[in-house]
Amino acid sequence: MQPALGKEHYVSPAAYDVERERVLMREWTCVGRALELGVGPAATGRVAVVEVLGESVLVARSDDGRLTAFYNVCRHRGSQLVPVAAGEADSVTPLAVRALRCPYHSWTYDLDGRLMRAPHTEEWAGFVFVQLTPSDAQPLAEMLGAVPERLGRYPLASLRVGWSTSYDVQANWKLICENYNECYHCAGVHPELCRLVPAFARGGRDLEWEAGIPHRDGAWTFTTSGTSERAAFDGLDEDERVRHKGELVYPNLLLSLSADHVAAFTLWPLAHDRTRIDCDLLFAPAETAQPTFDPSDAADLWDLVNRQDWAICESVQRGMSSRAFDGGWFSPMEDESLDIRRWLLPKLQRQSLERP
């Protein structure tokens, strides 16, 4: 058995501060769906406020349709351009403006971000990403790797949020990623899910993630009944119409794909032991437009499974914090290729700490 990532990476506030600065601030963070943020492709002259890793960031759709982003900080004396207290970004409705005028001494900025400290921003499949340290930027495409190709038949860009909720989880964000990456826990933690997907009960060994995970006979999607009135997405192959796929885009976007809906999770690290998790269920626009549209068959199952996962992650966080715990092990059923150490440790070694 391999030793897992050291304890301090989960329970130490000081280790979290280093990780936040050296790793998370240099990666692409998914901040949600462009449409939901109010800066969809047609929403020119709109500005949304998001809080990423404790930084207030403005995401704008400029007049020429480009997505831009800037730190919510005036170059003159540092006032916030859009005053918003920590933790309150979600309550700010998108602004419809041609320019931003600082409330302090009225310096004015247009929405191309040119005169501002500008993080990078890009869109993939309807998701907006920001990278807060442009001097250290890796292209978004590089970070996404083979994911766009593997999900190429799912119409992600056109999907609409049909249900969403948010969870405040008292656990380190990496525990949530690691839990998402293994199914060794499924038999014990998710009895309902294992009835729908019997392969999960076997611990997830030999799961064919590339072709997708089959459901029990007669079932084809992640709902309480295993079926749905909704149609499968157009363009899926035969496997995708009846199987389930999953992707983890480090560090903060988790995608779980059924034939008729996609569960998209964004992780928002708040502290070494606290993560907000937004869960959006995405559906074809033809479905959400129906007067009879009802996402509850999928939402009920997801909410149940989510709460089971977050509760076990919180329990791990508490257990790891014990003086009796001095580091864990990966058992043979936890796929070593998904070992988070491979992703995290080289990035933590990065020396440059230039500010944006």
Q: Is 340 helix (H, G, I), strand (E, B) or coil?
A: helix
Q: Which is nearer to Fe ion, 19 or 309 (CB)?
A: 309
Smallest gap from Cβ 121 to ligand FES, in A, equals 22
DSSP states of 16-44 as a string?
A: HHHHHHHTGGGSPEEEEEHHHHT--TT-T
117 binds ligand FES (CB under 6 A): no
76 binds ligand FES (CB under 6 A): yes
Beta strands in the chain (DSSP E): 2-3, 29-33, 46-52, 55-61, 67-71, 95-96, 99-101, 108-110, 120-124, 127-131, 160-169, 213-214, 243-249, 253-257, 261-271, 274-283, 329-330
* Residue 253 DSSP label: E
Q: Which of Fe ion, ligand FES, none is residue 309 near (CB under 5 to 8 Å by kind)?
A: Fe ion
Binder to ligand FES among 102, 193, 267, 316 (CB under 6 A)? 102
Tell me the C-alpha distance between 333 and 202, whole Å: 10
Binder to Fe ion among 178, 240, 278, 309 (CB under 5 A)? 309
114 binds ligand FES (CB under 6 A): no
Binder to ligand FES among 66, 98, 105, 342 (CB under 6 A)? 105
80 binds ligand FES (CB under 6 A): no
Q: Which of Fe ion, ligand FES, none is residue 334 near (CB under 5 to 8 Å by kind)?
A: none
User: Between the CA of residue 46 and those of 37, 60, 118, what are the distances in Å?
Assistant: 10, 6, 16
Whether the bond between 41 and the residue before it is cis, its omega within 30 degrees of 0, is no
Closest CB to Fe ion belongs to which residue?
A: 309
- Token representation of residue 129: 């990403």
Pairing of the two strands 253-257 and 67-71: unpaired
Q: Which is nearer to ligand FES, 30 or 116 (CB)?
A: 116
107 binds ligand FES (CB under 6 A): yes
Stretch that binds Fe ion, among 60-68, 205-213, 302-310, 333-341 (CB under 5 A): 302-310
Tell me the C-alpha distance between 274 and 20, whole Å: 13
156 binds ligand FES (CB under 6 A): no
Q: Given the rule CB under 6 A, which residues bind ligand FES?
A: 74, 76-77, 79, 102, 104-107
Q: Given the rule CB under 5 A, which residues bind Fe ion?
A: 309
